[in-house]
């Protein structure tokens, strides 16, 4: 059936395909040899043919055979796509209806949602600034290669841009990698920066729980060589201040250390090449019971049951300073350098956090692992203790059992090698930082917020008491604007007074100026306080001044 | 030479190509007929094969021949691309160097640039809010079809996202079309909104002049049915206030009206189907002499010389209220409905602008046309009169001749039909708005700004006078933070006092708290004013309070 439909010529492509594949195999080996030889040469301009960033001296030459193959593939692909576009063109031209929606996993934010969001972001920003952070901005897309190899399995969630005949680009996946790229590029060795911006992930959206494909992150990072744990402790303080300020309920910041995790794996007998993958398994412990994680370690990752059980003993531990003491005495960990270093870091961190008044907000938790590959030291994760479940179908979960700790609202850690991945000459720029998952916070606070939020800041409404006053109204309005008063008027020549006053009440505007011929002839206007409906006559001359005075009371 | 390089099989593609093209032609006509027939059917789900938004009933069926052709093209393209990737893979794997740059036409903004930008955007926002605007936010990408057919020839500058097996998406090109989509989707009939966000255009960047591929726009729009020219005049006021507030030099807001332009074209004898294309020619008059534009109208657009000359007479006119009177008396325009409507609108607009104190900031300019198709009424464009040329090669253009009006820094107009394009049931949501080209303003003010900008808001630095005080320092720091004071300390256990004080001076931090054992034993610390180097002893207990007091002086 399908072969009957196939237009003549498709078999030809299959033949070409086979032929090309053979050719490619034939050329692959000498090319690779050639490549290694030239690899030692210098020069850094970009490869014109792919995103491989080969040094200039190593670019394919027009007389390389492989060059022609790639060029010809490009040409054939372009032709096929042009043909496809032509085939599709007919329906497109004939039907002009447009799907009226935002892309999957995204939403618009209307004035009320924005008023809430802007308020929250402003409060987050204030705390970042209290800790002396500067801000930077990076493009929303990066060269694809900048993002490649940074996110492990999650790389598949990266949004790629179409190749429109230029660079290969992708939307940023987080703010950390662009920050490291920024530090690697510039002459920056010390910076404490915040960055509030949107990031993009082609994940399965769960919009009622605040999980979108386009979402804000609020990042605070400290780059530079400093004494141990001083910047690390400040990051915990920043997270705790923000979550306290936003009043989203009880939370705890879990703390752990990648070096300690690695040391612990070593002590348990995990082979070194399995540290990262076993770390990923441990990371699932916040949502998955130990028995399942243990099974995954054995069945999927090939660990012996005995080794998994040893890990199981450690990852069940959590506590405070006493846990540090216990681990420091642990016979198996004592002789492992990275474990000892991790434990000493944790001792300092807990001490510093206590000075910062955070003793009852933190827990040293050996089951915290964090998914990303680039962490090298302390890792953090803030979780809400009792999550106010989103209102769905009018029901609100109130059972004790439902109040489980599921809500991760911030996370981060130390990543000392990321800058070096971009610029080998900049190996020594250690970094530590946290990211606030503010979308989750938005949706919690959006569900909580009961009263109507004002979406404008209008202070005065300029109204007409009767017909024929719109020019005079604009004159008064203009004076108020020029004096810096936030003012509006009806965009009607002859609006009804009642409608105007109702508008003021609905929009919670504090004052209305009411113009009338009678008052104007005496050089005065009525100034009405909307909430009390009290009216006074005020000289037109001193109107702006009088309003200012009343607003500051 | 080239044919020798061609691997066996490429000729096959050419054969296939020819065959496919023939097949496509053969199927095109019956398909089109089929299409028209089904076009009457209802249903609005999206087409799976292209971005044509065909009603569901009209989707290609798996047994349609064209369906198989498209599917097979997709498969073959995928195979070819996989092969290409394989060919490219070798160099990529062998060389791990990464190109350290931002994508073409984009840049990072470091702390100093950001401090300036945030300040400017904040001032723009303040003026938008003074005029009672709410803010909204829309996703950075839209369904491609939302953008299709809105930007005329500039559509080629749209950034497409890669088809990763979901919706066909593109980055937003401006904020106006997403706004109209937002209004068309929701239950909004009246809204005055501002939106400050980045937009994306694959244009040729001219970064020294502030032209980027990723750039901010600051939009202010009023949607709703109101009395003539009242919202339109407020938009001019907003532009004038912003340009005055930002102090970037003398400017003028050019005003014109699309209905008047159309009426004028009609009066001159331009055929109705050429109004838009002749409008595009007129739009070039700000950069191109009349003779060239005339030539284009004749040679490229097929206008008779006589008609072009009549247009030429009009577009040379500019002025104020007297021009309105002159045009109202114009024998040729008098009988053309749209011209008369346009002239009456302009009469009102000029009167309102005068009341708003803008008489010397505006000019009614018949050569203003604006490129975009969607304008239907008043159009605006603000230009700088004397442009401070960017400093290039150390030279600064100071000749009178170089001070030409080239800098368009804001533009906009009325677009009454755009919302209706998204939602036919919402035809009656007229809109008018302006967009501030803030990147140009950034680069002018960045070039102007001489003194060092503070990039943090730190109020107090907590320093140690000698060794062994870092825990005490953190305690003091924590008290200050908890009292809301913006404070930092060195991330060193034992920093040198001189280095700490130097840091304060370099970073223009107003105060330093200096801890020393002697003072601490008496319950006091030294509070140093950095600019005067004056030091006082302050009780530790009232430190935060004392700092607050001194900062508010």
Answer whether residue A488 shows pLDDT above 90.
yes
Q: What is the pLDDT of residue A32?
A: 33
**Chain A residue with minimum CA distance to B494:** A227
The beta-carbon neighbor of A226 closest among B23, B97, B492 is B492
Q: What is the pLDDT of residue B87?
A: 64
Q: What is the pLDDT of residue B504?
A: 97
Answer whether residue A337 shows pLDDT above 90.
yes
Residues of B with Cβ-Cβ distance to A102 under 8 angstroms: 138-139, 142-143
- Give tens-digit pLDDT for A167-194: 999 999 999 999 999 999 987 889 999 9
Testing the interface with B: which of A3, A66, A95 to mutate, by most B Cβ within 10 A? Answer: A95
Residues of A with Cβ-Cβ distance to B140 under 8 angstroms: 140, 171, 198, 200, 214
Which of residues A446 and A235 earns the better pLDDT score? A235
d(CA A541, CA A181): 57
Q: Which two tokens stand for residue B301?
A: 């657009």
Establish if B8 touches chain A: CB-CB under 8 angstroms: yes
d(CA A478, CA B221): 19
Residues of B with Cβ-Cβ distance to A456 under 8 angstroms: 129, 132-134
pLDDT mean over A398-413: 63
Interface contact flag, A88 B52, Cβ < 8 Å? yes
Which of residues A488 and B394 earns the better pLDDT score? A488
Residue B7 CA neighbour count, 13 Å, CB half: 23
| Chains A, B: CB pairs < 8 Å | 425
B209 close to B440: Cβ distance less than 8 angstroms: yes
Distance (Å) from the alpha carbon of A160 to chain B's nearest alpha carbon: 5
- Contact map slice: A 383-422 vs B, CB within 8 A: 421-422
B142 close to B167: Cβ distance less than 8 angstroms: no
Answer whether residue A98 shows pLDDT above 90.
no
Q: Which two tokens stand for residue B537?
A: 């002893």
Answer whether residue A16 shows pLDDT above 50.
no
The beta-carbon neighbor of B129 closest among A131, A222, A457 is A457
When pLDDT is cut at 50, 70 and 90, the band that residue A67 belongs to is low
Q: What is the DSSP letter of A392?
A: B
Interface contact flag, A164 B160, Cβ < 8 Å? yes
d(CA A267, CA A103): 49
pLDDT mean over A14-39: 39
Using DSSP's 3-state secondary structure scheme, residue A224 falls into: coil
Q: What is the DSSP letter of A511?
A: E
Residues of B with Cβ-Cβ distance to A27 under 8 angstroms: 87
Show the low-confidence residues of chain B (pLDDT under 70).
1-65, 67-68, 85-98, 386-406
- Give tens-digit pLDDT for A41-65: 333 333 333 333 433 333 455 556 6
- Contact map slice: A 250-309 vs B, CB within 8 A: none
Which of residues A349 and A280 earns the better pLDDT score? A349
Is the pTM here over 0.90, yes or no? no
The beta-carbon neighbor of A169 closest among B73, B98, B103 is B103
Residues of B with Cβ-Cβ distance to A140 under 8 angstroms: 140, 171, 198, 200, 214
The beta-carbon neighbor of B77 closest among A58, A77, A351 is A77
Answer whether residue A274 shows pLDDT above 80.
yes
Q: b/e per residue, A72-102, with b = 16+ CB within 10 A? A: bbbebbebbeebbeebbebbbebbeebebbb
- Contact map slice: A 64-103 vs B, CB within 8 A: 65-66, 68-70, 72-74, 76-77, 79-81, 83-84, 86-88, 90-92, 94-95, 97-103
Distances (CA, A) of B210 to A25, A182, B197, B199, B214: 48, 21, 16, 14, 11
Answer whether residue A436 shows pLDDT above 60.
yes
Strand order in the sheet with B251-257: B134-135, B191-200, B214-223, B431-436, B407-414, B378-384, B251-257, B362-365, B318-319
Q: What is the pLDDT of residue A96?
A: 55
Establish if A34 touches chain B: CB-CB under 8 angstroms: no
Q: What is the pLDDT of residue A407?
A: 78
Establish if A551 touches chain B: CB-CB under 8 angstroms: no
Which of residues A397 and B350 earns the better pLDDT score? B350
Interface contact flag, A108 B185, Cβ < 8 Å? yes
Interface contact flag, B108 A31, Cβ < 8 Å? no
Q: What is the pLDDT of residue B86?
A: 63
Q: Which two tokens stand for residue B517?
A: 């054992």
CA A273 to chain centre: 30
B327 close to B343: Cβ distance less than 8 angstroms: yes
Interface contact flag, B44 A181, Cβ < 8 Å? no
Testing the interface with A: which of B3, B118, B162 to mutate, by most A Cβ within 10 A? Answer: B162
């Amino acid at each position: 059936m399908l072969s009957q439909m196939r237009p003549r010529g498709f078999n030809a492509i299959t033949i070409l395909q086979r032929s090309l594949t053979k050719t490619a195999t034939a050329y692959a080996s000498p090319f690779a040899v050639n490549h290694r030889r030239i690899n030692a040469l210098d020069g850094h301009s970009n490869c014109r043919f792919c995103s491989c960033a080969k040094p200039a001296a190593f670019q394919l030459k027009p007389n390389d055979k492989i060059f022609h193959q790639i060029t010809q593939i490009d040409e054939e692909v372009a032709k096929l796509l042009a043909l496809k576009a032509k085939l599709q063109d007919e329906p497109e031209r004939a039907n002009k209806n447009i799907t009226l929606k935002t892309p999957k996993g995204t939403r618009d934010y209307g004035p009320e949602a924005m008023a809430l969001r802007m308020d929250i972001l402003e409060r987050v920003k204030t705390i970042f600034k209290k800790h002396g952070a500067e801000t930077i901005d990076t493009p929303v897309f990066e060269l694809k290669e900048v993002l490649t190899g940074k996110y492990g399995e999650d790389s598949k969630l990266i949004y790629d841009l179409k190749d429109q005949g230029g660079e290969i680009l992708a939307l940023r996946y987080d703010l950390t990698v662009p920050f490291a790229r920024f530090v690697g590029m510039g002459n920056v060795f010390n910076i404490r920066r915040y960055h509030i911006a949107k990031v993009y992930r082609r994940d399965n959206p769960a919009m009622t729980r605040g999980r979108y494909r386009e979402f804000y992150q609020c990042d605070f990072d400290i780059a530079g060589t400093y004494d141990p744990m001083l910047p690390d402790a400040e990051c915990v303080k920043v997270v705790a201040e923000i979550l306290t300020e936003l009043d989203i309920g009880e939370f705890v910041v879990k703390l752990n250390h990648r070096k300690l995790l690695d040391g612990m794996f070593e002590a348990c007998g995990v082979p070194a090449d399995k540290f990262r993958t076993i770390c990923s398994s441990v990371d699932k412990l916040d949502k998955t019971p130990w028995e399942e994680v243990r099974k995954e370690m054995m069945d999927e990752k090939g660990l012996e049951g005995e080794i998994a059980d040893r890990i199981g003993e450690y990852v069940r531990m959590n506590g405070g300073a006493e846990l540090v003491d216990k681990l420091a005495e642990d016979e198996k960990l004592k002789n492992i350098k990275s474990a000892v270093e991790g434990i000493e870091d944790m001792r300092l961190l807990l001490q510093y956090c206590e000075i910062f008044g955070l003793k009852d907000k933190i827990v040293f938790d050996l089951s915290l692992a964090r998914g990303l590959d680039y962490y090298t030291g302390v890792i953090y994760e803030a979780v809400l203790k009792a999550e106010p479940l989103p209102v769905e179908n009018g029901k609100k979960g109130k059972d004790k059992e439902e109040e489980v700790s599921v809500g991760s609202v911030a996370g981060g850690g130390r990543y000392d090698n990321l800058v070096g991945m971009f610029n080998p000459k900049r190996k020594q720029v250690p970094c530590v930082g946290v990211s606030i998952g503010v979308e989750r916070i938005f949706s919690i606070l959006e569900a909580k917020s009961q009263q109507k939020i004002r979406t404008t800041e209008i202070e005065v409404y300029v109204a007409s008491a009767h017909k024929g006053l719109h020019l005079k109204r604009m004159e008064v309005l203009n004076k108020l604007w020029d004096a810096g008063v936030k003012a509006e008027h009806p965009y009607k020549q002859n609006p009804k007074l009642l409608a105007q006053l109702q508008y003021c009440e609905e929009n919670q505007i504090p004052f209305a100026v009411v113009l009338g011929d009678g008052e104007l002839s005496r050089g005065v206007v009525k100034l009405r306080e909307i909430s009390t409906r009290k009216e006074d006559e005020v000289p037109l001359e001193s109107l702006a001044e009088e309003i200012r005075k009343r607003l500051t009371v």
